[in-house]
Amino acid sequence: MSPQMKLAAITLDCPDPLALAAFYQQATGLEPHPKSDADFAGLNGEHGLFIGFQRVDDHRAPSWPGQIVPQQLHICFTVEEDLDEAEARLLKLGAGKPDHQPHGDRARVLTDPAGHPFCISPR
């Protein structure tokens, strides 16, 4: 049997790691990493998955769906509540909603406060 890899961490570039970590913490309920700071913040996820946020000076937000600044990363989440309720909750937390919605009623594409696109879909 060949060796298998297990996903351990995902890290997003952003202008303000603590603010972006706070957005995802409120959105997901994941616990903040105790050593988070202004240069690198993180959330401890389920099954050991770590989500990190690292400061990048002159960060350029993705221009999804355009490719002037490529999306670089796309995260998908399942939600327990109705999609409309989940969307409203995330918009209140600071998410954005692009006009382009390619999934119809099956999923929604939103953007986090640093501009990274992510999807929500029913469980």
Q: In the 3-class helix/strand/coil scheme, how is 20-64 assigned residue by residue?
A: HHHHHHHHHCCEECCCCCCCEEEEECHHHCEEEEEECCCCCCCCC
Cα–Cα nearest to 33, from 47, 23, 18: 18
Structure tokens at 65: 């769906």
% of the chain exceeding 70 in pLDDT = 95
User: How big is the CA angle at 115 (ends 108 and 96), to the nearest 5 degrees?
Assistant: 45
Distance from C-alpha of 36 to C-alpha of 115, rounded to nearest angstrom: 21
pLDDT of 1 > 80? The answer is no
Which residue did the predictor score with more confidence, 108 or 71?
108
Instruction: Read off the pLDDT of residues 37-83 as tens digits, 9 standing for 90 and up.
Output: 999 999 998 888 899 999 999 998 888 888 888 777 778 899 988 99
Q: What pLDDT, on the 0 to 100 scale, is given for residue 3?
A: 64
Q: What pLDDT, on the 0 to 100 scale, is given for residue 2?
A: 58
Global model pTM greater than 0.85: no
- What letter does residue 96 receive in the DSSP assignment? B
